Amino acid sequence: MKSPAERAVALTPPYKILFVCLGNICRSPAAEGILHTLVETGGQAAKWNIDSAGIYSGHAGQLPDNRMRVHARRRGYELTHRARPVGESDFSDFQLIVAMDESNIRALRHMAPTLADEAKIVPMISFVRMATRYDHIPDPYYEGSEGFELVLDLLEDGCRNIFETISKQ
């Protein structure tokens, strides 16, 4: 099986990336906002379709968690996405489905209609190059400011790697 980076390199434009976390109010909308900013700043917005969704549908329609929005805004990211649950059509609409942790990966694999769709699921942490003790992107929901800053550090690094890996094709 190809590594996540190899799968990213194999994408063809328009690049269709879906970020997934539990509720779609912290990690995945932050990753979406970061990658959108990188793509727009790099002058490649027309080549990308970036979105995010959650495993849990209870936050559908809500803006991202205010704490994440505040921390992201300090770094220059405006998070305006409205939460939505992952749907079956996401597996056909997106080329790469980037999950924040192992429980998200398990849930997505269970939802995937085909083995080919299951192969689209990759862990976000596999794109993070900075040294970290984490094997996933931790959920900052029950954490303080440090938790949100850590998650943004990890997501910025991972999104930069996704952008650089795909855009240099």
Question: Known catalytic residues?
Answer: 21, 27, 139
Neighbouring C-alpha atoms within 13 Å toward the C-beta of 16:
9
For the chain, the average pLDDT equals: 94
Name the strand (E) or helix (H) holding 107.
Answer: helix 102-111
**CATH architecture of the domain with residue range 4-167:** 3-Layer(aba) Sandwich (3.40)
Instruction: Give the number of C-alpha atoms closer than 13 A to the C-alpha of residue 132, restricted to the C-beta side.
Output: 19
Q: Shortest CA distance to 16 belongs to which of 97, 71, 79, 76? A: 97
The percentage of the chain sitting over the pLDDT mark of 90, rounded to a whole number, equals 87
Residues 80-129 pLDDT 10s: 999 999 999 999 999 999 999 999 999 999 999 999 999 999 999 999 99
- d(Cα 161, Cα 137) in Å, to the nearest integer? 15
Per-residue confidence band for 149, with pLDDT thresholds at 50, 70 and 90 = very high
pLDDT for 10: 78
What is the C-alpha to C-alpha distance for residues 77 and 37, in angstroms, rounded to an integer? 7
Q: What is the pTM of this model?
A: 0.95
CA distance 124 to 62: 23
